[in-house]
Amino acid sequence: MQKRGYHHGNLRQALVDAALELIEEKGPTGFTLSEAAKNAGVTPAAVYRHFEGRDELIAECARQGHEIFAELMAHAYADGQPSALAAFEATGRAYLAFARRYPGHYMAMFESGTSVNATPELAAAAGKSRAVLERAAEALSQQLPPDRRPPPAMFSAHIWAMSHGVVELFARGRPGANAPFPPEDLLEAGIGIYLRGLGLIRPDS
């Protein structure tokens, strides 16, 4: 891996970028601060001017990932257009797209063991993407009678868990994880079954 050059003022981001590459290559616990410093083109001592340790560096990678994830989810949701159902389904596809496009961020967010409450900034960023999915779930569930509406947080958590499972098992190229169908098809079918069970999609749709 080539050393990165940096200009005064952006060393912090250079270290984050170096860490993201190392996370993709070695996993979130497979690298040292010294390696991150080397790949950013600085001395190990320089790291400590910005991060107290590797955990704090990974937490910043996760925070930036959640910010990107929230933006992608909001773009996919598109304020509920063209319909609540289509917008909701789009958020599930956005989950898969994010995991593929930003693997280092994804691993920092979900596979590093970093608590979402590690820093207030990380917690706030994580709340943004969760809020998009809850808003999508709440809008879609308005089509149900009040006594049959699941709480939006539960509704969205079920879809989040389904999306996460498809990503972890079939969309991240894990050895031996040969999907019987494309991950997008698996997720779409799973969401469809869930929504039919709630009565949000007709059985013959």
pLDDT at 174: 59
pLDDT class for 205, splitting at 50, 70, 90? low
Question: At the topology level of CATH, where does 55-198 sit?
Answer: Tetracycline Repressor; domain 2 (1.10.357)
Residue 111, SS3?
Answer: coil
Of 13, 9, 31, the C-alpha closest to 22 is 31
Q: What is the pLDDT of residues 116-132, one digit of tens each?
A: 998 999 999 999 989 99
Statement: the pTM of the whole predicted model exceeds 0.95: no
pLDDT at 4: 44
Decide if pLDDT at 8 tops 50.
no
Domain map of the chain by residue range? 1-51, 55-198
DSSP-assigned letters across all residues of 118-180:
SSHHHHHHHHHHHHHHHHHHHHHHTTS-GGGPPPHHHHHHHHHHHHHHHIIIIIS--TT---S
* DSSP structure class, residue 50: T
Average pLDDT for 67-78: 95
Of 47, 29, 48, the C-alpha closest to 39 is 47
- Across the chain, mean pLDDT equals 87
Q: What is the pLDDT of residues 128-172, one digit of tens each?
A: 989 999 999 999 898 888 888 889 899 999 999 999 998 888 877
CATH tag for 1-51 (out of 3.30.420.40, 1.10.10.60, 1.10.10.10, 1.10.3720.10): 1.10.10.60
